[in-house]
Structures are given as structure tokens and as C-alpha cells.
Amino acid sequence: GEPPHSVPPEQLFSLCESVVVEMAAPGVWRGEEGRAAGSTHPQEPTLLSCLLLAAITTVVKVMGQAFDRLLQLAVYPLMQQLGHSSAAVSSHALGTLRTVCSHCGYSSLEQLITRNADYLVNHVSLQLRTGPAQHPEALLVLQAMLRYGEEAVLPLIQDSVEELFLSLDLREDPALLWPALRTLALATTRWTAASKTPASSTVAPPTGSPEETMEKPHPHEERLRPSQDEVRRFFLEYHQRKERERLTRLEDEEQGPDAAEEVEENSAKPRPLPAHQLAMEVLQRCTHYLASPAPDLRLTVLDTLGHCLSSLRVNETALLPEVHKVWPAFLHRLSDSTPSVAVRAWGVLLVMVEVCREFLRRRVVKEVWPRLIGRLESLATKSANSDKLYRQTANFKLQRKLLECVGTLCEHLDIRSSDEEHLAHACVPYLSSEQPGELRKTCQTSLTTLVRRDPDRMWLLLQQLRSQDVPTPPHQSLKPYKFSAFPSSGKFTDCANALLEHC
């Protein structure tokens, strides 16, 4: 609202400044100031943070545009609360910062972060140099900048990221540092996706001769007939490009074949984008921490690995060598002794296969197939005739993830039919009526993919699961074929019939 008319503007500013200065003290947000003053009841940090954020919001509304003069005092603790692990605190901080944006002339939170990035990065870098363990709030501010900032802040936070990498390389409390790296990897994925230009909005430069290009008919020629200026511009660009090619060719001839080969080699290996370079550096550090003894840290590293893969999917030159390096360490996580880690690892494998495709086909068939088949077969007996409580166990979640992987891996990697058949046999027990309904449904979905890829082979397999309705030969000259039925094949009839409809 409007400030009271009885209070002079300078006096109001001085009063609000004293309030903001008091709230900017780090100890206030942890409740230390209240206890130091003799409070008998320790204040709950989450509630206290929300109350302080509401107070700053009120100050912003009272001061309006003038709060911009105090923003440097308040922006660091506000960004710290924005990166808070509590959803209540971070959501309140987000609302406060949006109020600051609306009253101080910022079009968005991204713009506020970009314009104040120098001040924020200076504090973060200084505190990271003295040790992240001594100043964990610096990591919260950095995570908030990465989560809500735009790609324009990337050059500004480079020094802070380097400090983060250095601390991790020195093995300084990795459990504290890896959440920040996960946020960094997620930010590179977001920035990479935002920098993509839709194919429909780009116009390819002319590559052929003017005659070849102009001869191509257009279905809407009358409506899209080029103007005289467009035709003139086209010929002008064409001749300029030809002249540049001629000059480049003459320069290569003067410098000799070695220089031409060097130029061609350099042009064949474009420099990675800054976001891709960061993703590569994070991915390299994933290799060393995938074998961490702490399950929570392994989960965080796997999440980070998945984000890095998604970020580098458009740059195979950078992606494939890094996947080759991380593969041996990652492979062990597929058989992790902690089921929740194994579930996450199989999910990351799906991302890896989606972005690498044929590059991983032989590795998956040789090294992943036996693990996948062995896990499916060993867990099938545990879920058979299980009660409803089994659906809440980690083994159930692992089984469901494994069954989801079957169809996706075969489709993305274009696996041979003979290799698919081994996997299909391992899935058969999950078509039994003794299995939980969710597992049967997931298994049917994956096997439907195999049916679509090789209907004849899958038809023969599914016929063995039926206890009746043996198919009659289409002609009397053909002898009936006797299928070797599975034990207790009557338990598979319903699922087998449903799958045979797709054959």
C-alpha cells in the first residue's frame, strides 16, 4: 500500500533500511538472534523463515520502487531461502522475489538474477574458497541461481562452478556438493533445450545453383511468389558465397595441403557450447562417485548423470566418448545391492540408450542382457502369489522398472530377434495369473512391442502358453503341429490370448 503521509520519505526509508539490515544478518534466519536475547522457546527455523519472508514482502510493498536501493542487502538472503530444502520456505521466497520484481521494475526473476549476478557470485565465490562445509548457504544461493537463472548468467558463475569442481576433486564433503552439481546438470539441460531453434522457423541457406533452386515448384506458388527484392537478395547472397569459397580455395592452395587438412579437422570438431562443456565436466566426475558407499549419494550421482546425458544428446561428438568412459562404473549400478539405486540406474540406462542408440547395442546385449534376464527370473518367484503389501516393496518397484526396460531397449537398439527371444522367455512368468496385476500389465505392454517387431516368433512362443484352442492347419495336407506347453500353462491363457490379438 501507499506509505503513510505523516512519515517523511527519508524517515520511512531509514526505518525500512534498519529492518532490512537486521533481517540480512545470517543468524536471524537460523533463530540464533532470538535465543541470544534470552528466548526460552527455540524458534522453529522453517516457520521463522516464512515469517521473515512475509515481513520483507510487506517492506517491499511499502517502499515500492525505492526498495531497489536496498536490494543488494536483501537479495543474497532471499536467494539463499529460494534454494532452501523446505518447499514451504522456497515457495515463500519465490513469492517475495516476484513481489520485488513487480515493484522494482524487473520483468522477471531471471532478469533480477542476471542484473544482480555480479554481487551474488562475488559472495558465493568468496565463501566457497573458504570451504563449502563452513558456508553451506553459498551452495544454496548457487543452486537458486542455476535453477531460476537464464543462460546469460553462465559466464558470470563460471568461477563459482570452478570452485565447486575444485572442492569436489579435493574430496571435501561430496554429499554436500553433489546436490549443487545435480542442479547444474539440470540447468544445462534446460538451457540446451531453450537454445534449440525449431526446424520450421529456420530457413536453410541456398546450396544449389540459382537455376536449380528457382526451378523447384511450390504448392502455393501464387500465394508465396517471391518479390523482386527477395530474388535480388537471393542472387546477391549466392554470388557472395561463391566468391568466399573461391578465396578460401586459393588460400588453401597457397598454404599447402597440410594447412588445408588442419583447417578441415578443426572445422569437423566444433567447440562445445559452454553449457555442453559444463555437462561434460560434471559427467567426468560422475565416474568416480558412482561407487560411493553411501546409497543416497549414488542416487544423486545417477540423477546427475541422467541430466548430463539429456544435455549432451544434441552433441554426439562430446557425448559418446564420455559415455564410453562412464560405462564400466555405471554397469555395476544395474546390479546394486540397494534396490532403489538399481531402479534409478535402470531408468538412467533408458536415457542413455535413447541418446546413444546404436553406439550401445553390442554392450547392452553382451553385458546388460544377462543381468536383466537373471534379475527377472530370480525375482519372479518372490512376487508369485504375493499379498498386497508386496506392492510397496523395493523389489516390486525394481521388477516393474525391469519389465518397462524390455520393450524400450529392444526398440531403441533394434535388437536381433534371437536376442529378443531370450528376453521374452524371461518375461513369461510375469504373464501368470499368480503375479500382481501391475506386473502383468507392464509385462504385456513390453511384450506387445516385441510382438510388433517379430510377430511370427512371438506367435510361436505365445501358442505354448495356451492350454487349449490349438490352431487347426489351414489345409488337410498339413499335419497338426504339437506345441510344447509350459508347465501350468493354464495360468497364462488370458494374457497370451490378449497378446495374440496383436500378432
Lowest mean pLDDT among 66-75, 175-184, 487-496: 487-496
C-alpha cell at 297: 549419494
Q: How far apart are CA 302 and CA 26, in angstroms?
A: 33
Backbone phi and psi for residue 356, each to the nearest 5 degrees, phi listed first: -105, -30
Residue 294, pLDDT score: 94
- Helix, strand, coil content of the chain in percent (nearest 5): 75, 0, 25
- The string of pLDDT tens digits covering residues 268-304 is 556 678 889 999 999 999 999 999 999 999 999 999 9
Spacing of C-alpha 426 from chain mean position: 31
Q: Is residue 78 pLDDT above 70, yes or no? A: yes
Q: Is residue 451 pLDDT above 80, yes or no? A: yes
Q: Which of 411, 387, 409, 391 is nearest to 400 (CA)?
A: 391
Mean pLDDT of 471-496: 72
| pLDDT more than 90, % of the chain | 46
DSSP 410-461: HHHHT--HHHHHHHHHHHGGGGSTTS-HHHHHHHHHHHHHHHHH-HHHHHHH
For the chain, state the CA radius of gyration: 31
Q: How far apart are CA 447 and CA 455, in angstroms?
A: 10
Q: How far apart are CA 378 and CA 395, in angstroms?
A: 11
Is the Cβ–Cβ distance between 13 and 66 less than 8 Å? Answer: yes
Residue 22, pLDDT score: 86
CA torsion sign, 380 to 339 to 343 to 312? negative
Residue 349, pLDDT score: 96
**With b meaning 16 or more CB within 10 Å and e meaning fewer, what string describes 456-483?**
ebbeebbbebbeeeeeeeeeeeeeeeeb
Confidence bin at 326 (pLDDT 50/70/90)? very high
Confidence bin at 204 (pLDDT 50/70/90)? very low
CA torsion sign, 85 to 89 to 92 to 97? negative
Mean pLDDT of 319-324: 93
Mean pLDDT of 134-159: 91
DSSP 219-267: TTTTTTPPPHHHHHHHHHHHHHHHHHHHHHHHHHHHH-HHHHHHHHHHH
pLDDT mean across residues, the chain = 82
| pLDDT more than 70, % of the chain | 78
Confidence bin at 112 (pLDDT 50/70/90)? very high
Spacing of C-alpha 499 from chain mean position: 34
For residues 233 and 395, which has the higher predicted lDDT (pLDDT)? 395
The angle subtended at Cα 396 by Cα 391 and Cα 398, nearest 5°, is 150
Residue 11, pLDDT score: 80
For residues 367 and 23, which has the higher predicted lDDT (pLDDT)? 367
- Residue 462 belongs to what H/E stretch? helix 455-463
Residue 232, pLDDT score: 65
C-alpha cell at 194: 531453450
Mean pLDDT of 141-164: 91
Which ranges of 25-173 would DSSP assign to H, the alpha helix?
Answer: 26-29, 32-36, 45-63, 71-82, 87-104, 109-115, 117-129, 136-148, 158-169
Q: Is residue 90 pLDDT above 80, yes or no? A: yes
Mean pLDDT of 145-153: 91
Residue 264, pLDDT score: 46
- The string of pLDDT tens digits covering residues 345-391 is 999 999 999 999 889 999 999 999 999 999 999 999 999 988 889 99
Residue 228, pLDDT score: 65
Q: How far apart are CA 90 and CA 96, in angstroms?
A: 10
Confidence bin at 5 (pLDDT 50/70/90)? low
In terms of average pLDDT, the best of 106-110, 167-171, 489-493 is 106-110
For residues 146 and 479, which has the higher predicted lDDT (pLDDT)? 146
The pTM for the full model equals 0.77
| Residues whose CB is less than 8 angstroms from the CB of residue 419 and which lie 6 or more positions away in sequence, other chains included | 365, 369
Q: For the chain, how many residues are written?
A: 503
CA distance readout (Å), 409 to 327, 353, 488: 16, 7, 29
Mean pLDDT of 176-186: 94
How many CB atoms are closer than 10 A to CB 306?
Answer: 24
C-alpha cell at 473: 492347419
Q: Is residue 481 pLDDT above 80, yes or no? A: no
C-alpha cell at 392: 510397496
- Residue 339 belongs to what H/E stretch? helix 339-356
Lowest mean pLDDT among 97-101, 225-229, 287-291: 225-229
Residue 194, pLDDT score: 75
Q: Is residue 24 pLDDT above 70, yes or no? A: yes
Helix axes 369-383 and 417-427, enclosed angle (nearest 10): 20
